[in-house]
Amino acid sequence: MNTSTATPLATNTPQAAAKGVEVIQLAEACGAEVRGIDMVNGVDEAGLAVLRDALNKHAVVLIRGQKLTPAQQTAFTKQLGEMRTSFYNRYGVPDHPELSIVSNIKREDGEALGIADAGMLWHTDASYLPTPDLYTLLYGITIPHRDGNAIGDTVFSSTGAAYDDLPADLRKRLDGMRAVHSFTHHLDKKKSLGQLKRAPLSAEQKAALPDVSHPVVRRHPNTGRACLFVTEGHTYYIEGLPEKESVELLEMLYAHIKNPQFHYRHTWQANDMLIWDNPALQHLAIFDYGDIPRRLHRAGILGPVPQPV
């Protein structure tokens, strides 16, 4: 359930120092809109402090009405941290390979313009890497509509709230556990579900993406909050458990994370900028638009090695 509640303004908050900037909470577990930010002309330090504070508190932040060129999106992203260029550079924005195209639109030669199957399974970005993404910035350009309503929503789930809601004995059981995340497993799973729409990986790409081990519960690098860190999209197995026990535990955790009480569901508008905190969230793209054109530009911020609680 979404709400719209203005964040109380204290005189010592970053928001108090940024004139004309307002933070509106959108849902209980995660999600907020920040108003009064202009990315086109660059965001000053006071505005950046508001955004970082909102990300720490709400995990996913919406900024509407940002008419950005790829160069402007890139410049703003670099204000938040070091960008990561995706290994899927065949889907990079022309002249801006650090931005990836997420789209179902096809080029004149019939090849996909962008990644057409991104987000079909719950995941956190780049968990299959030793240093997963800290932030993702997704900019809406072409938003599909049906019967006058925007479709192709993105749903977020707070992994901190999900962890807090687990029984104490299960939290204790998870302490110290590690799980393997695998991009090869991810593609195999998508293929088995009939979801795979992107070009296959080259041998060089596969060699550069070995499986990695991460804590099942990670400590958030900025807030210190304990967050579940297993995803149905990329987690292969839990180390040290028999296969059946690993599958059963993972499926239970996946189902728990999908509980709507932890969610914020975003309905896109053109020129929306959505910024989210990957350690604190998982997300899912809703593929209800078929061949109706959709295009977004994605940027990622390099994160640290996940640390256990």
Q: What are the catalytic residues?
A: 123, 125, 283, 298
The conformation of residue 158, written as its DSSP 8-state character, comes to E
* Closest by Cα among 277, 226, 217 to 56: 277
* E-state strands within 68-195: 83-84, 92-93, 96-103, 133-142, 145-146, 149-150, 154-158, 178-181
| 3-state SS, residue 141 | strand
Both tokens assigned to 206: 């596969």
CA distance 221 to 214: 14
End-to-end Cα separation, the chain, in angstroms: 30
263 exposure class (CB count in 10 Å sphere: 0-12, 13-18, 19+): buried
* 136: Cα within 13 Å, side-chain hemisphere: 26
DSSP sequence for 163-179: HHTS-HHHHHHHTT-EE
Q: What angle do CA 266, 272, 274 make, to 5 degrees?
A: 60
SS3 content of the chain, % helix, strand, coil (to 5): 25, 30, 45
